[in-house]
Amino acid sequence: MAEMSAFWDRLADRYAAQPIADETAYRTKLQRTRALLGPDMDIFEFGCGTGSTALTHAPYVRSVRGVDFSARMVEIARDKANASGITNVTFEQGDITAMTIPATSYDVVLGLSILHLLRDRHAVLSRVFDMLKPGGRFVSSTACLGGPLKLLTPVAAIGRALGKLPQIGFMSHAELRSDLVRAGFTIEQDWQPKAGAAVFIVARKPG
């Protein structure tokens, strides 16, 4: 985790200052997610970044727990929460696969703009499935970089070795769907605002 933390720590302040690339798509994803939420629910978000999405959903649930590899991202997220007076959200540095999280603890897990940046997404999906309550939902938004873009794998490896790029996984839309089903989920929503855009999926744990 230290390597990934260092990379994202360097980018955290610049990341926090960047505008949202597609505001309309982002708002649609927020609305679709909010339709799943209720005041007695507990949310877990991994790869929470600087906390904007977690804080946006906070008024509609009982609690939100945000986790990120980057200590600096978490620091910025905590500052945002304090400035907004939001008290039902916590942020911490951590790795979802290494943390102690009781099974069936959460109603909703969020993994936004993160699955394609993981070394072992299969292990993460298995962990998400385990930590969700029966009937709970996993909400993800993922850049699917498979197909012809897989030819860039060697370039990405060199960039990562030089510290210029993060870990990048080149999976297709179909591979992502297959991974979710293999982990035990049923896919309820699958939406891509336009060709080449991140794929928004709501997957449900049976129960």
Q: Mention every residue, 6+ apart, whose C-beta is less than 8 A from residue 109.
A: 43, 44, 45, 46, 128, 131, 132, 136, 137, 138, 139
Which pLDDT score, from 0 to 100, does residue 14 have? 85
Using one digit for the tens of pLDDT, what is the confidence trace for 100-159?
A: 999 999 999 999 999 998 989 999 999 999 999 999 999 999 999 865 444 344 444 444
In the chain, how many domains are there?
Answer: 1
Characterize the bridge pairing of strands 42-46 and 89-93.
unpaired
Range of the domain at 70: 2-204
Structural contact between residues 95 and 29, judged by C-beta atoms closer than 8 angstroms: no
Cα-Cα-Cα-Cα dihedral of 46, 69, 117, 76, to 10°? 80
Beta bridge partners of 201: 140, 190
Model confidence pLDDT, tens digit, residues 70-108: 999 999 999 999 999 999 999 999 999 999 999 999 999
CB atoms within 10 A of CB 2: 7
pTM value surpassing 0.95: no
DSSP 107-128: EEEEEES-GGG-S-HHHHHHHH
93, 75 contact by CB (below 8 A): no
Separation CA 163–CA 32 (nearest Å): 36
**Domain CATH for 153:** 3.40.50.150
User: pLDDT value at position 165?
Assistant: 46
The amino acid occupying position 158 is I
Rounded-to-integer distance, Cα 15 and Cα 32, Å: 24
In which residue are the tokens 């597609």 written? 22
